Amino acid sequence: MTQRRSFLAALGSLPVVGLGMGWAQAATGDASHNMMNMGAATSVTSVKLAAVDALPAGTALKGLVKLANTSGQAGLFRASLVAAPVNVPLLAGAPTEFWAYNGNLPGPLIEVVEGDTVEILFENRLPQATTVHWHGLPVPPEQDGNPQDAVAPGSKRLYRFTLPVGSAGTYWYHPHPHGSTPEQVYRGLAGAFIVRAKVDPLKDIPERLLVISDLKLGADGRIAPNDANDEMNGREGQFALVNAQRQPVLPFDRSGRERWRLWNASSARYLRLVLPGTGLTLVGTDGGLLERPIKGLAELLLAPAQRAEVIVDAGSNKSRVQLVAAPYQRGKMGTVPAETQLSLLTVDFSQVEGLAQKPLPAKLARINELGRPAVKKRVVFSEKMSMAGGQHEMKFLVNGKQFDMKRIDLVSKINQVELWEIANESDMDHPFHIHGTQFQVIEREMDGKVTPEAYRAWRDIVNLKAGETVRIKLVQRFKGLRMFHCHILEHEGAGMMGQLQVV
Ligand code: C2O
Ligand code: CU
Ligand code: CU
């Protein structure tokens, strides 16, 4: 693509010494010149990282801590959530300061039933402003933790919303303040949110909750700041953790079958999940169950912020098998290490009694086709190299612009079906996300070839490969302000985000 070429050409004309430390430094020959307008927590050079085996591995997988419901009233979930620094002893001698919800890593699981009203009293004990965004949930805009609704350090606010019947699914919550979302998430602020169905066709299958997150830990025991590569490609640490544990062991249920809910809560890491020798059946996406199970998956790609529900069958497996994230090429720029396979956890099938499995229900849920769109919108993701003040700068753009809190980029009518065409005119994958609603992917287009989506599903994240165009249908059911953006958090932070006003 032309932008890539101009980027490479610009790079080619520069002295390439020290490129591995981030090409900005090579470009300017001056480490104090920062190529991007990055936050204070960013350095051009990388800090020394802790060794990849510095954290213990092989401990038994822990469940998620649940956020306690203090309401005695049916249909009301009431709880409080505090964001604050917490010290965790990870490396000998130097505790690691995380930022966490209620001191938990990951944040406590919020579990409600569709139809419930949720009241969460939130308190910000961080040194900076924050918000709580209910990723994927159909909550009113003024309750959705928009960057405009910052909660100042030391203050509180009540989030209140009702989750309609039909919203059962696998969601999460994380901060969304202006500018500092990447830092607040990589410091540990993120938690799982499950909306349970009143009638669940898979309720008899033992469930496993797996929140996969990223940790980039300095050798000094501190959470490492972003370097130039992180700012450009999105941050990836040396650790991919499951429920905040490194390579835990999951004792597989004796029945030989489990239902896994998986969250990719990392800033930028793509998870191409493979569990060798084991049958994976996809039963749900971000916004709930599919219409029918999809059997025989060899792998499952979870883009950043994406979730899935899968049925895992032990089959004839009796031993230990590693769940891995296989290498995935997403078009990273600059000088970055080659993609390698990461081990996420070990599944221990030794307790399985090898009982014959009942067939899964043929029908899981009803997903209504959204109908004929009344309008069409187009969103273009692009990247652009520019020179500002003698420094190279990579810009990540939506429809040619960087995010501006004071600008409305698109306007939608409430309750109207829209077709959104999202085009990735950059050279890197970008996961598209929109607030406030779930959408249906209709088709994907690559090199002029249009592929209709194979099945209907509710999603709030769809990955776009370089050069790909995806068409989705959606409806917004509340008036107000919504964000849409790339969910590689460093890109979002750098302005790859737009605002939708629903009228
Ligand atoms: Cu997961 Cu705009 O967010
Ligand atoms: Cu969101
Ligand atoms: Cu992106």
8-17: pLDDT as tens digits: 333 333 332 2
**178 and 214 belong to one structural domain:** no
Mean pLDDT across the chain: 91
DSSP 39-73: -TTB-SSPPPBPPTTSS-B-PBPPPPPBPPP---S
DSSP state at residue 338 = P
Mean pLDDT over 188-207 rounds to 98
Domain boundary among the residues 196, 219, 244 is at: 196
142-180 tens-digit pLDDT: 999 999 999 999 999 999 999 999 999 999 999 999 999
Q: What is the CATH number of the domain that holds 326?
A: 2.60.40.420
**323 and 221 belong to one structural domain:** yes
| Residue 187 pLDDT greater than 80, yes or no | yes
**281 and 430 belong to one structural domain:** no
The answer to whether residue 110 sits within a structural domain is yes
Looking at ligand 1, which atom is closest to the CA of residue 172?
A: 1
The answer to whether residue 361 sits within a structural domain is no
Q: Which ligand is nearest to the CA of 235?
A: 3
Which protein residue has the closest C-alpha to ligand 1 atom 1? 135
Neighbours of ion ligand 3 (CB under 5 A): 430, 486, 488, 491
| Residue 193 pLDDT greater than 50, yes or no | yes
Q: Cα of 184 to ligand 2 centre, how many Å?
A: 15
Q: Cα of 277 to ligand 2 centre, how many Å?
A: 34
Q: Cα of 170 to ligand 1 centre, how many Å?
A: 14
- Number of structural domains (the chain) is 3
| Residue 6 pLDDT greater than 50, yes or no | no
- Residues 189/107, Cβ–Cβ less than 8 Å: yes
**341 and 391 belong to one structural domain:** no
The answer to whether residue 353 sits within a structural domain is no
Domain boundary among the residues 333, 348, 363 is at: 348
SS (H, E, C) 106-136: CEEEEEEECCCEEEEEEEECCCCCECCEEEC
Q: Cα of 247 to ligand 2 centre, how many Å?
A: 28
Q: Which ligand is nearest to the CA of 181?
A: 1
The pLDDT score that the predictor gives to residue 239 is 97
**70 and 168 belong to one structural domain:** yes
Cis peptide preceding 293, ω within 30 of 0: no
pTM, to two decimals = 0.91
Q: Which residues line ligand 1 (CB under 6 A)?
A: 133, 135, 174, 176, 305, 433, 435, 483, 485, 487
**190 and 211 belong to one structural domain:** no
> What are the C-alpha distances in Å from 117 to residues 105, 141, 421?
25, 16, 34
The pLDDT score that the predictor gives to residue 313 is 93
The pLDDT score that the predictor gives to residue 288 is 98
24-60 tens-digit pLDDT: 323 332 333 333 333 444 455 689 999 999 999 999 9
The answer to whether residue 354 sits within a structural domain is no
Domain boundary among the residues 196, 228, 244 is at: 196
88-147 tens-digit pLDDT: 999 988 899 999 999 999 999 999 999 999 999 999 999 999 999 999 999 999 999 999
Backbone CA torsion sign across 230, 235, 236, 237 = positive
The pLDDT score that the predictor gives to residue 13 is 32
Which protein residue has the closest C-alpha to ligand 1 atom 3? 135
**406 and 484 belong to one structural domain:** yes
Q: Which ligand is nearest to the CA of 429?
A: 3
The pLDDT score that the predictor gives to residue 390 is 66
Looking at ligand 1, which atom is closest to the CA of residue 435?
A: 2
The pLDDT score that the predictor gives to residue 357 is 80
Query: Phi and psi at residue 294, in whole multiples of 5°?
Result: -115, 110
The domain of 151 spans 2-196
Mean pLDDT over 449-460 rounds to 98
**58 and 119 belong to one structural domain:** yes
The answer to whether residue 185 sits within a structural domain is yes
The answer to whether residue 278 sits within a structural domain is yes
The answer to whether residue 385 sits within a structural domain is yes
**48 and 127 belong to one structural domain:** yes
The pLDDT score that the predictor gives to residue 29 is 29
The answer to whether residue 362 sits within a structural domain is no
**189 and 213 belong to one structural domain:** no
**6 and 148 belong to one structural domain:** yes
DSSP state at residue 235 = -
The pLDDT score that the predictor gives to residue 195 is 98
